[in-house]
Amino acid sequence: MPQETKAMPSDADAGETAPGVQHENLQGWIPPLATDDEIRLALEKAFDYRGDVTATLKDGRTIEGYVFDRRADGPSLAQCAVRLLPRDGGGKVSVLYAEIARLEFTGRDTAAGKSWETWVKKYVEKKQAGESNIRLEPEKLD
Amino acid sequence: MGIPVAQMWTVTSYVVRQKLAGRKRYPLVLMLEPLFRCNLACAGCGKIQYPAHVLKRELTPEECFKAVDECGAPMVSIPGGEPLLHPRIGEIVEGLTARGKYVYLCTNALLLKEKIDQFKPSRHLTFSVHMDGQREHHDFAVCREGGYDIAVEGIREAVKRGFRVTTNTTLFDGADAKSVRAFFDEMMALGVEGMMLSPGYSYDKAPDQQHFLGKSKTKKLFRKILSNRSKGWRFNQSPLFLEYLMGHRHYACTPWGMPTYNVFGWQKPCYLLQDGYADSFAELMESTAWDKYGTESGNPRCANCMVHSGYEASAVDDTFGSVKGFLATVRATLFGGAYADPAALEALEEKAAPASHLGLVQVNVPASRATPAAPAETARA
């Protein structure tokens, strides 16, 4: 389930609308981690994901958090690391790719369902129902 | 002129010092994001899509000061999230202005009246109020009816108290050029010092990936908006950057020109793209593969970007990098110019074709407010 960038126009100056990124539905995904390539791909997707993931390490520890960085240029998994902000509020945590035994996209995709079309539809429905003071509210954080 | 002479002098002397020191890459504005939390929920926003535990985090004043000292840029822009939600924002701003930085506090102004006592008027502090157009357009864009009126109240209060106030406006696919021009008149009538503009950008993590302008449309839109200018309009931006948006100039991106610092660290490579984070400004500058970014790189994520965070620094560098650029800036700054363009004027009169997804309609603007000042009328005749 790769996250791919749509094909760009051959000449950006001629493009009328900028192509965006097509996001996959990754919530709940447990990627296969049998090979180095699968591990690299899964962590790249975790980096692109807009929710928390849970990593289970080979020593049995689990870390749940938001992946904000990955340093994947190393030739081996032992030389690549992913960095997370833990859900429990601690400081930045760095984990070597080679230490990860299991990964799960446990958190909600925070952008899912928040498209412009959804807002337009909601607005039109409320307007037609005669409502005023129409707005989208930020989600509660607690 | 939209930018005070003292600020221009500070920026000029800074850039000249960088040039004399032979620095090829130097920051111009630090984008300091002290938090991602926001009191709006704009559909499609690409800046605040994070889990709650990330949205609750914020930079301390000490972390902000360290970042500013590391970076050294003469100007600091404080976007977010909504910075007025930060419980210590007054302390942060005071610390930055005490360092001689020119601070632009970017706010949706919903809390401006309530929080304004935390700040003191200073030539080093500007409230840059996010306004996306006339009332209906702004409210629809920020997904909140009544948002425009609250923001206008905030602007009035800040102007009344002697603060520097600018507006910043992001334009997306389907923007109505005629309405935007009428909006400029409204903002200048409120007494703002100047206005800032930028096309939107399709952030990778944004839920909305379809409604962003390609380069061709960007140039057409800004040519319609910024040609045949009213004499009353002032812009708090490089005039060469505005000419770039109109398609009159070509620039390569300067992604290091406006580096970003937030709760994750120093963002690679720029304000818009997130390809990872560095733990120090020096690491950001040294470890980022700059040649992989910008228009010339072939990176598809950069192909349609004409955003200020990448190109305004290019325009400023042009001002100080060539006699031609310097003279063009002096001419535009001192003598302004209507940028008379009969074809753009005609295009303005065409019925706007709203993008099918937007549902925005062309606002009926009284002709007296939509028509440009005398030079343009002369050109049309």
Tens-place pLDDT, residues A22-69: 678 899 999 999 999 999 999 999 999 999 999 999 999 999 999 999
| Among chain A residues, CA nearest to B51 | A51
Q: What is the β-pairing status of strands A4-5 and B102-107?
A: unpaired
The count of other CB atoms within 10 Å of the CB of residue B14 is 18
Domain of B120?
Answer: 5-380
pLDDT digits (tens, 9 = 90+) for B246-303: 999 999 999 999 999 999 999 999 998 999 999 999 999 999 999 999 988 989 888 8
Task: For A72-96, give the DSSP string.
Answer: --SSSGGG-EEEEEETTS---EEEE
- Give B381's pLDDT tier (boundaries 50, 70, 90): very low
- How many domains in chain B? 1
Q: Give the gap in angstroms from C-alpha B253 to the nearest C-alpha of chain A.
A: 14
Give the position of tokens 């006699």: B323
Residues in a beta bridge with B105 = B78, B127
Instruction: Confirm or reject contact between A139 and chain B (CB < 8 A).
Output: yes
pLDDT exceeds 60 at position B359: no
Contacting residues of A for B265, CB less than 8 Å apart: 69, 92
Task: For A91-111, give the DSSP string.
Answer: --EEEEGGGEEEEE--S--TT
Q: What is the pLDDT of residue A140?
A: 87
- Quick check: A110 and B50 CB within 8 A? yes
**Alpha-helical segments (H) within chain B:** 5-20, 52-55, 61-71, 89-98, 112-115, 135-141, 147-160, 177-189, 215-226, 239-245, 281-287, 308-321, 323-335, 342-349, 367-370, 374-380
CA distance B332 to B337: 6
Q: What is the pLDDT of residue B349?
A: 84
- Quick check: A23 and B209 CB within 8 A? yes
Range B73-84 average pLDDT: 96
pLDDT digits (tens, 9 = 90+) for B193-209: 999 998 887 655 555 55
Q: What is the pTM of this model?
A: 0.89
Residues in a beta bridge with A4 = A22
ipTM of this model?
A: 0.87
CA distance B153 to B146: 11
Q: Give the gap in angstroms from C-alpha A49 to the nearest C-alpha of chain B.
A: 8
The count of other CB atoms within 10 Å of the CB of residue A2 is 9
CA-based nearest residue to B293, from B12, B5, B25: B25
pLDDT exceeds 80 at position B362: no
Grouping H, G, I as helix, E, B as strand and the rest as coil, residue A16 is coil
Contacting residues of A for B295, CB less than 8 Å apart: 12
Beta strands per DSSP E along chain A: 4-5, 21-22, 53-57, 62-71, 81-86, 93-96, 100-104
- Quick check: A50 and B146 CB within 8 A? no
Q: Give the gap in angstroms from C-alpha B319 to the nearest C-alpha of chain A.
A: 24
Contact predicate B152/B112, CB 8 Å: no
Residue B173: which CATH number?
Answer: 3.80.30.10
Higher-confidence residue of A97 and A3: namely: A97
Higher-confidence residue of B126 and A4: namely: B126
Higher-confidence residue of B255 and A140: namely: B255
Contact predicate B308/B237, CB 8 Å: yes
What contacts 24+ positions apart, CB below 8 Å, involve A122-130?
A123/B140, A123/B143, A123/B359, A124/B359
CA distance A64 to A97: 15
Which of B20-24, B92-96, B137-141 holds the top average pLDDT?
Answer: B92-96
Sequence letter at residue B335: F
Domains located in chain A, CATH noted: 20-104 (2.30.30.100)
Run of H or E including B262? strand B260-262
pLDDT exceeds 90 at position B74: yes
